[in-house]
Structure 1
Amino acid sequence: MPEKKGLELVHTELKRDTWLFPNISIHTPQEAVKAIADLLENMDREMVVVLHTTTKGRVISAAICSVGTMNEALVDPAGIFRTALLAGANNIFLFHNHPSGDCIPSNMDVLITKRVASAGDLMGIALLDHLIIGEGGRYFSFEEEAPQYLAPVSEKHRMNDGDSVQDDILAKVERAWERRERLRRETVEELLSLIKDGDTFYDPGWSREAMAPRNPVTGTVYKGSNRLILMLAAKKYAYRDPRWMTYKNLSGLGYHVKKGEHPKILEKWTFAEQRKLLDQNGMPVLDPRGRQIYEEVPLEKPLYRTFQVYNGEQIEGLPPYQKLSEKPGELEKKVDALIESSECTILETAQEEAFYQRGCDTIYLPLRSAFHGLEAFASTAAHEMIHSTGHPSRLNRAFGKWPAFGSPDDLYCMEELRAELGSLFLMNDLEIPLKPREKRSSAAYMDQYIRGLREHPNVLFRVAADAGRAADYLLERFEKIMKLEKKEDLLPEPQVRHRKEMYPAKKGRIL
């Protein structure tokens, strides 16, 4: 019988090897890095690994797609998606390591990310992130730092389980919110661990310099919740350096992170985006030099993302921070200018309590001589002045109530927390040394807002934002007063003339 010739019927199948980790789900870059870091972190050559996941983030399998040399590895999109298709994956995470230890993406890394994202768009398998693993737990996430290179999946495509792309986008949003909630709960617990037995925030252990965090490269002064996060980190690790930088900032200056150091995660909200300005015909609008003009367009929903920063004391070789010395008599000038800058009346009287009365818009303070130092007086005044910014004629906040017989309500407790944080911000912005306030926080509302923050962590971040606005409001008026005083100091001394020369004697006038 003659041998039959023609096409042979073949098939491919997925060969399953050893499991690297138990059944897990991935929703954030940090979770993705934790899952794969042990495999890639100590490799002496570049390796490309892909994780296959479902739309809900459950990891189906992992595949090693390439093993290269010390500084490169061949990345073939076909090889990446071959195992993804066989595994029935809806999404993938792409990883590769840099044996040099840094995790800054190269131009080729960016190009590969765009190619893989485009290929996934055609096949209906989304590239959720491309992560570069460095040394000592460092990593670079395209989703966090450069999401524009992760091309969105076309709405024409559907995932293998029938879920729409819109559902997948919503899942991403949910993961972002979960990441935010986890970060905020950690911050709340760090804060509450420092507040015990009704103590105020004015602990001598706080470093005045580190309480005013900023980025020396970009000039950014961290505000609101980010400021609170960095202040807590400075307190926890006894940092005296107010400088905080991203890995890109410090590596651009030629510095490296000390081995074993970990970054702090901060929040960033984007409320608008830059778009090309087009004319009625859809053509680009150019300036006189022929450059594209952009317009700022508000987003329907603000974008939330996180980024990482390192303190100056975590950076190898960074010159130590030089603290500026204070001039003699500077403290007195600052305290006087602070009191003078108040929009409401401040009365210093012989009494024990310090309080703000909203009805008559007046602050009542004990005499300065009753305080243990001018710093303690300033911190008490700052606390009450933060309260005064809530007046309807200023920032208009709800104060809440504390009945004569009963407990303070939630609004009252949050206003007290707002004043605590706001005065702490203000004192550090004014560079006035921190000393405990004479009026200690009442255990009644301390216990209540501690309990409230544990139940609703987001409240702390709203309060911190309000406290930052209140401190900035007072700081702006303070700076105006200080500028006026400086101008007066710079004015030339008036030429002294004899009184008789200035006012000649006239009949009937007594000199």
Structure 2
Amino acid sequence: MSCFKKQNGDASARRDHYQEITDRIVAALETGVAPWRKPWDPDKAGGPLSPINAATGRRYRGINVVLLGMSQFSFASGDPRFCSYKQAKEKGWQVRKGERGTTVIFYKQLHVEDRAAPADAEDRTRRIPLLRAYTVFNASQIDGIAPFIPPTVEEAPWRRFDAADVILRNSKAVVRIGGDRAFYSPATDHIQLPPEHAFRSPAGLAAVQIHELTHWSGASHRLNRDLTGGFASPTYAKEELVADIASCLVNSELGLPTDIENHASYVASWLDHLKDDKREIFQAAAAAQKAADYCLAFHPDFAESELDQPTDHESDDTATLAEAA
């Protein structure tokens, strides 16, 4: 069972955050908006479009990217930084009075003695996933924080115009050109793309390349997702949900469009799944983050930057969150 604590830490609260978050996402989908897609103009935002923690420099991941993307402040001023009230205070910043924040979810493991373990067991420790909800604020809501300066292309070379080509080339995925549809075929393990002139822009082509590559990542000898569903089947819709979120995560890092068109039936199917299972969006976000990580690792500059990512004792690992319900 999940255990949550109120933000002030005085008492535990058994709020169902899984249901609350699912309800918010369902409400957004019912308006025809997939909330993991960028609600901002990348030409105005500039810089890295994925949210980062202003105090630690860590990238938010998975379900928290979706949640922060739903914030009315999310990148409205071109600033992708968020942090908690406590973190802001520790930095000497001040969240302005009356500002409303956005809820994010974090996890850590609580280690307790496993009294049911055999007396001669080497490990008598039981690990309990502890989920915690925090309120964070966008930098535009905080006084005293330095202005955000987007990194240059030299500092973030994975945001160059050819990033998608680099990733696709290094992945060794088989790509065939022709026809009027873009898709990944599990049976032949190849990506099919229309010719370049069929796309409105090079960025549009790159975004579709990444979307199909996220499907490619799910093959049994890669991340092993269920790709057996026929068109319009529940399994097919689940995979489209994962790929839709994953491609948005990758494209946001690369500075590419994320508004790839989806068939209306996908959204209807997603709604059915989310309404039936409050953990579905967490599981989809977990699978999407794995797919995004898998694809981004094919860009050597991004892979190297990940080695420099700071860590702490808490994580917003959606794979763990999905399993911890």
Q: Give the TM bin, normalised by the shorter chain.
A: 0.7 to 0.9
Find 1:313's aligned residue among 140, 146, 158.
140
Which residue of structure 1 aligns with residue 102 of structure 2? 264
Find 1:365's aligned residue among 193, 204, 213.
193
Deviations 1:43-85 (A, max 9, x none): xxxxxxxxxxxxxxxxxxxxxxxxxxxxxxxxxxxxxxxxxxx
- Detail structure 1 runs of 4+ shifted over 6 Å in the superposition: 27-30, 327-330, 480-483
Which residue of structure 2 aligns with residue 193 of structure 1? 31
Which residue of structure 2 aligns with residue 344 of structure 1? 173
Show the 5 A alignment for 1:386-401.
386-401=214-229
Cα 1:185/1:329, change in 2 over 3 Å? closer
- CA shift, 1:451, in A, is 3.0
Kindly indicate whether the alpha-carbon contact (under 8 Å) linking 2:36 and 2:248 is maintained by their aligned counterparts in 1.
no
> Does 1:218 find its partner at 2:46?
no
Deviations 1:323-350 (A, max 9, x none): 2344799734313202212242122x23
**Separation of aligned partners in 2, 1:382 and 1:311:** 28
Deviations 1:166-211 (A, max 9, x none): xxxxxx6xx24x2442233224423553528xx9946664656574
- CA shift, 1:298, in A, is 5.0
Which residue of structure 1 aligns with residue 210 of structure 2? 382
Kindly indicate whether the alpha-carbon contact (under 8 Å) linking 2:184 and 2:216 is maintained by their aligned counterparts in 1.
yes
> Aligned-residue CA RMSD in angstroms?
3.3
**Separation of aligned partners in 1, 2:58 and 2:32:** 27
Deviations 1:402-443 (A, max 9, x none): 25xxxx22221111011111001001222x232643xx2112
Q: Between Structure 1 and Structure 2, how many residues are aligned?
A: 289
- CA shift, 1:222, in A, is 1.0
Which residue of structure 1 aligns with residue 237 of structure 2? 413
Say which structure, 1 or 2, has more relative contact order (CA 8 Å, 6+ apart).
2
**Separation of aligned partners in 2, 1:193 and 1:423:** 21
**Separation of aligned partners in 1, 2:17 and 2:158:** 48
Structure 1 unaligned regions, length at least 5:
1-26, 31-138, 145-171, 276-294, 484-511
- CA shift, 1:241, in A, is 1.2
Kindly indicate whether the alpha-carbon contact (under 8 Å) linking 1:400 and 1:409 is maintained by their aligned counterparts in 2.
no
Show the 5 A alignment for 1:44-55.
none
Cα 1:190/1:309, change in 2 over 3 Å? same
Structure 2 unaligned regions, length at least 5:
114-122, 305-325
Find 2:252's aligned residue among 401, 423, 428.
428
Cα 1:360/1:324, change in 2 over 3 Å? same
**Separation of aligned partners in 1, 2:5 and 2:224:** 40
**Separation of aligned partners in 2, 1:28 and 1:274:** 17
**SS, match of residue 171 in structure 2:** coil
Which residue of structure 1 aligns with residue 316 of structure 2? none
Cα 1:325/1:310, change in 2 over 3 Å? same
Which residue of structure 2 aligns with residue 54 of structure 1? none
Kindly indicate whether the alpha-carbon contact (under 8 Å) linking 2:186 and 2:227 is maintained by their aligned counterparts in 1.
no
- CA shift, 1:450, in A, is 2.3
Kindly indicate whether the alpha-carbon contact (under 8 Å) linking 1:225 and 1:464 is maintained by their aligned counterparts in 2.
yes
Residue type at the aligned position of 1:450: L
TM-score norm. by structure 2 comes to: 0.77
> Does 1:474 find its partner at 2:302?
no
Which residue of structure 2 aligns with residue 140 of structure 1? 8
Deviations 1:204-251 (A, max 9, x none): 646565741111322322111111111221576835211111111110
- CA shift, 1:377, in A, is 0.7
Which residue of structure 1 aligns with residue 183 of structure 2? 355
